Amino acid sequence: MRVSSAVRRGVVLGLLGGGMMAMSAACSEPAPPPPAAPVVKTSAERVARYQECWKAFNDKAWDQFQTCYTENAVSETVDSVPASASGRAAIIESGKAGLTSFPDRRGELKLVLANGDNIAAVALWTATNTGDLPPGPDGKAAPATGKAIGFPIAHTGAWNATGDAVVHDAVYLDQRTMMAQLGLDTNPARPVEKATGSAPAIVIAKGDDIEKANLATTQSMFAALNKHDVKALEGYMADDYKGISVPEPKDTDKKESVAGTREMFAGFPDVKITPVTTWAAGDYVVVAGTFEGTNTGDLAMMKLKKTGNKVSDRFLEIFKFSGGKVQEDWLFYNGAAMMNQLMAPAKK
């Protein structure tokens, strides 16, 4: 059938007209609104989120717990083996793996400190060893001891831009204390602590003059420490000073801590202690750093003759100030890692 030229023109014009009308309608519609800016959590909201994440970990709520980390987050257990897990999936698998030896493990928060993107906590780590322990250097798994553990650990985290997930965190856990409490290390260790169910103390940074003064004092303390100036260090300690070094079997007072510092300088004459990150929250200052030195002197308190070995360890230290002086001094590091370096065969 032949179509007249007039009809063809009408069809074409109709198509063009329809297209033009559609374009006109599209152009007349308002542009879609820009995506909403991400909500950035306040410091108080970040602390609440942090507590939610610890609860999810304790409850083994892995679907919920995985949201506490960004997709490419890194989680460390400082100076331990394995040292770290990279990526959300690997972090969750690492968390699940620890249940083999300690199915009832929990962390009870005792202190939570927050400053911007930084968060740090002291937690009481409790568990009962009812499953085989991971293989040791001989490749053999140790049978369950049936014993309980309970000692303080430290945890630090760095939030993402919105404060709802962690991009990097680190656990400072003393394996030597753990093994001694399990009866697998003959060295003395602090007694097993039990959870109390009490709420943690929470301190959020204000950026005030007190925090600035405490940060300045901390800087001076580490300068004195690296000069081996024991008298100056003693001057920064309050009369009721309490030293809580987790790898040590008991806490120390001012006099005992000064004696321990003198022995450290004698045992490691070239010791260098380097703060890597330092920040404040209220009366507290948090320092993450490194300890490096060569053991060329006896360590009487440890009943250890000089080994000549070099030692390099990471630590987390939390100072609580009162009236410009240190009243409490929490020190976290892996004593097992340090001892392994000290006792390693001398290199020829």
To which H or E segment does residue 170 belong? strand 166-172
Per residue in 50-94, pLDDT (tens digit) is 999 999 999 999 999 999 999 999 999 999 988 899 999 999 999
Mean pLDDT of 13-35: 52
Band of pLDDT at residue 28, cut at 50, 70 and 90: low
This prediction has a pTM of 0.88
Give the least confident one: 107-111, 193-197, 301-305: 301-305
Mean pLDDT of 269-297: 97
Backbone phi, psi, residue 338, to 5°: -65, -45
- Per CATH, the number for 209-343 is 3.10.450.50
Q: What's the farthest any 2 CA atoms get from each other in the chain?
A: 113
Report the mean per-residue pLDDT for the chain: 91
Per residue in 159-183, pLDDT (tens digit) is 999 999 999 999 999 999 999 999 9
Given a cut of 90, is residue 144 above it in pLDDT? Answer: yes
Tell the residue number behind the tokens 């304790």, with chain if given. Answer: 58
Tell me how far CA of residue 250 lies from CA of 114, 287, 346, in angstroms. 28, 22, 30
Given a cut of 60, is residue 24 above it in pLDDT? Answer: no
% of the chain beyond a pLDDT of 70: 91
Q: Are 326 and 297 in contact (CB under 8 A)?
A: no
Q: Where are the beta strands (DSSP E) in 20-147?
A: 69-77, 84-86, 106-115, 118-128
Q: What span, in angstroms and rounded, lies between the C-alpha atoms of 212 and 62?
A: 39
Tell me how far CA of residue 125 lies from CA of 27, 122, 174, 192, 246, in angstroms. 63, 9, 11, 10, 12
pLDDT, position 286:
98
pLDDT, position 15:
35
Does 209-343 match 43-204 at the fold level? yes
Band of pLDDT at residue 142, cut at 50, 70 and 90: confident
pLDDT, position 196:
96
Give the SS3 label for residue 254.
helix
Per residue in 216-271, pLDDT (tens digit) is 999 999 999 999 999 999 999 999 999 999 999 999 999 999 999 999 999 999 99
Given a cut of 80, is residue 31 above it in pLDDT? Answer: no
Mean pLDDT of 198-214: 98
Mean pLDDT of 317-331: 98
Tell the residue number behind the tokens 């014009």, with chain if given. Answer: 13
Sheet-wide strand order for 325-332: 237-245, 325-332, 310-322, 284-294, 272-281
For the chain, the domains span 43-204, 209-343
Fold of 43-204: Nuclear Transport Factor 2; Chain: A, (3.10.450)
